[in-house]
Copies of this chain bind each other. A is one copy, B any other.
């Protein structure tokens, strides 16, 4: 009996450094999870490689996959689609391997609905830790500027509520270690292992 792998989702507000942290994780040693490459309709940038950075597809191709129910999640962002093809994720989880996604918050919400037992990690901007000074600034900012900062902070905090973990991206190597520790620890959660033991007993 192969145990199903864990689905690990890294997300967070745009600009928080999800891509940088994800790259640092996959450049580090001792990872026992596979990276699920995203699909996009945006133009390939110089240096980017098909099937490494992204799967590059036309808008028509992408919309066909959506219609066929073959996207685990997708979102439109600045006029382009970004998403996760379902087939690779399913196959890899079925083989008992963990899959790591780094996606936008809209997409993470879709995954949460489809795979509630995934591990959802929210990357937090470092200055969310110093909310007060970030929002009130130097005390000379206009009330509407402060209000807008309040709104953004409130939005980020409420986004966080959908996740299992919040990791501060204060220093990339620290964020990497925290995320890798979380992934290891999640394998020891009772709800993930007890079924295996119960099944073994029943089968005796």
Contact = CB atoms under 8 A, between A and B. Distances in A.
A52 interface: no
A188 B204 contact: no
B201 A189 contact: no
A201 B150 CA distance: 8
Contacts of A185: 165, 178, 181-182, 184-186
Q: How many copies make up the complex?
A: 2
Given A194-B160, A194-B166, A131 B200 contact: yes
* Chain B CB within 10 Å, residue with most, of A157, A161, A178, A189: A157
A188 B166 contact: yes
Given A150-B201, A197-B131, A201-B154, A190 B163 contact: yes
A118 to B, nearest CB: 14
Contact count band on A: 20 to 34
The A interface, classified by DSSP as helix, strand, loop or mixed, is helix
B194 A161 contact: yes
A201 B194 CA distance: 40
A136 interface: yes
A167 interface: yes
A132 interface: yes
Interface string A17-43: 000000000000000000000000000
A160 B204 contact: no
Interface of A: 122, 128, 131-132, 135-136, 150, 153-154, 157, 160-161, 163-167, 178, 181-182, 184-186, 188-190, 193-194, 197-198, 200-201, 203-204
7 contacts: A132-B203, A157-B194, A161-B190, A166-B190, A178-B185, A185-B185, A185-B186
Q: Closest 9 A-B residue pairs measured CB to CB?
A: A185-B185, A165-B188, A182-B185, A157-B197, A131-B200, A181-B181, A181-B185, A166-B190, A163-B190
